[in-house]
Homo-oligomer: A and B are copies of this chain.
Amino acid sequence: MPTSLTATGPEAPGRATALPIHPPHRLLMGPGPINADPRVLRAMSAGLVGQYDPAMTDYMAETQRLYRGVFRTANEATLLVDGTSRAGIEAVLVSLLEPGDRVLVPVFGRFGHLLAEIAARTGAEVHTIEREWGTVFGADEIEAALDAVRPKVLAMVQGDTSTTMCQPLAELGALCADRGVLLYSDVTASLGGNEFVMDDWGLDAASAGLQKCLGGPSGSAPISLSDAAVDVIQARRHIEAGIRERDDEEHGTRIASNYFDLGMILDYWGPRRLNHHTEATSMLYAARECARLLVDESLPGAVARHALHGRAMTEGLVALGLRLFGDQSHRMHNVIAVHIPEGVNGDAVRSGLLHDFAIEIGTSFGPLHGRVWRVGVMGYNARHDTVLLTLAALEQVLRAAGTNPTPGAGVGAAKEVYAQ
């Protein structure tokens, strides 16, 4: 037996060119990614099965069912796009929008710009309205813009991590339905930590990622599509050469991407099981476990958990002498921005936290870069111990940076929230 040639055989000495993965411990209290739930990491180490194995197609069906619970929808077309949350956004936009279609994108932070930019690459006519960072839109502003632009799709993020704001969506579904507009929201930053009720609110499309309140690693994008959205996509249905059968009809403007062609991805997840990509099985295991844990906890329970720990962190940050950024009545529960105090080097404080306490917090993008810190309390890290540890360490680092926080004030304020 040529055991020396097998993959499990001994390694030749001196050949090792890199060490096995062994990352340092970090407590990730920034805007995401955060530490994945250990149960999600364990799910990913499960063995693989074949792409059409009954065990695999059962897991796919269960994943769909669980994400209907997470998105709070009855949409049959609820599935995973194999890529990061940005892949989910692009799949929705490139599948819904044809060149020349009008799309309205209300922008209140970096990720609004991202939706506009992805939409523009589909060849759509992109109309934006903008709000100052740290604020959200009123339904009346969006209604006026819908009437002025008369778009095919209204696309906006629910929570924009760049500003921590959470856009109210509940009234927009009716405004869109009255005008025959499809409503799409990217809920990557908010889902699981803030109320989101896809069907009650009348959304036609939603996309997410695992690395925020869902408690998983980046790399899989759950999405859900209403029947109306599916109809738009199926009107552009094409099946790729090599697996097309004689009676498959072809029609409509072909979607400009193969990988993100949701018509084909629906055929893969649907009863026909038509081969498309090779499903990223380990990431599907992770995505399924994220949803399983959330549905077990109940979505309202998870939202309440994020609200509680977010409030405790907020009170603690204020008690440390930090000033909150943005309209607090519209803040996401799971991420809080504070102004970096005058005279303090924001990056030095972040480095000190990381170096001495292995705790990561973030800054932001564009106009807020270096002006705010962003602190996340989400997913597996929405816990009291993480909140208290972060506040205790931050107090030390702030003192070293020359500010004068009242000793114990941050932790004390958070404990008061928990005692209520």
Smallest CB separation, A192 vs chain B (Å): 11
Smallest CB separation, A162 vs chain B (Å): 8
Smallest CB separation, A263 vs chain B (Å): 13
B113, B242, B295, B379: which contacts A113 (Cβ < 8 A)? B242
The answer to whether B365 and A275 have CB atoms under 8 Å apart is yes
The answer to whether A259 and B90 have CB atoms under 8 Å apart is yes
Taking CB as reference atom, which chain B residue is nearest A361? B50
Residues 352-385 of A at the B interface (beta carbon under 8 Å): 354, 360, 365-366, 379-380, 382-384
A interface residues (Cβ-Cβ under 8 A, vs B): 1-3, 5-8, 11-12, 15-18, 20-26, 28, 30, 32-37, 39, 41-51, 53, 55-56, 59, 62, 65-66, 69, 82-87, 90, 94, 109-114, 116-118, 121-123, 162, 209, 211, 215, 217-219, 240-243, 254-260, 275-283, 285-286, 288-289, 292-293, 295-298, 301, 304-305, 308, 354, 360, 365-366, 379-380, 382-384, 418
The answer to whether B45 and A278 have CB atoms under 8 Å apart is no
The answer to whether A85 and B44 have CB atoms under 8 Å apart is no
The answer to whether A240 and B113 have CB atoms under 8 Å apart is yes
Which residues on B sit within 8 Å (CB–CB) of A35?
Answer: 47-48
Smallest CB separation, A57 vs chain B (Å): 12
The answer to whether A282 and B280 have CB atoms under 8 Å apart is no
The answer to whether A15 and B288 have CB atoms under 8 Å apart is no
Contacts A21-B285, A242-B114 known; A278 to B32 CB distance under 8 Å? yes
Taking CB as reference atom, which chain B residue is nearest A365? B243
B50, B69, B114, B308: which contacts A17 (Cβ < 8 A)? B69
Contacts A7-B215, A18-B62, A365-B243 known; A26 to B45 CB distance under 8 Å? no
Q: In the bound complex, what is the Cα–Cα distance between A365 and B274 (angstroms)?
A: 11
Smallest CB separation, A204 vs chain B (Å): 21
The answer to whether A219 and B384 have CB atoms under 8 Å apart is no
Taking CB as reference atom, which chain B residue is nearest A293? B7
Which residues on B sit within 8 Å (CB–CB) of A255?
Answer: 121
The answer to whether A44 and B46 have CB atoms under 8 Å apart is no
Smallest CB separation, A199 vs chain B (Å): 18
Which residues on B sit within 8 Å (CB–CB) of A85?
Answer: 277-278
Contacts A5-B305, A219-B219 known; A256 to B121 CB distance under 8 Å? yes
Q: Is the interface of A mostly helix, strand, loop or mixed?
A: loop
The answer to whether B308 and A21 have CB atoms under 8 Å apart is no
The answer to whether B282 and A53 have CB atoms under 8 Å apart is no
The answer to whether B305 and A7 have CB atoms under 8 Å apart is yes
Taking CB as reference atom, which chain B residue is nearest A286? B282
The answer to whether A1 and B117 have CB atoms under 8 Å apart is no
The answer to whether A20 and B277 have CB atoms under 8 Å apart is no
The answer to whether B20 and A49 have CB atoms under 8 Å apart is no
Smallest CB separation, A381 vs chain B (Å): 8
Contacts A/B (CB < 8 Å), 7 sampled: A11-B296, A12-B297, A33-B278, A41-B44, A86-B258, A110-B243, A121-B256
Which residues on B sit within 8 Å (CB–CB) of A30?
Answer: 50
Q: In the bound complex, what is the Cα–Cα distance between A382 and B278 (angstroms)?
A: 20
Which residues on B sit within 8 Å (CB–CB) of A282?
Answer: 36, 41, 44, 217, 219, 282-283, 286
Which residues on B sit within 8 Å (CB–CB) of A209?
Answer: 278
Smallest CB separation, A240 vs chain B (Å): 5
B83, B215, B418: which contacts A83 (Cβ < 8 A)? B83
B113, B283, B297, B383: which contacts A11 (Cβ < 8 A)? B297
Which residues on B sit within 8 Å (CB–CB) of A254?
Answer: 121
The 5 closest A-B CB pairs, nearest first, are A219-B280, A113-B242, A110-B242, A217-B282, A218-B278
Which residues on B sit within 8 Å (CB–CB) of A66?
Answer: 17-18
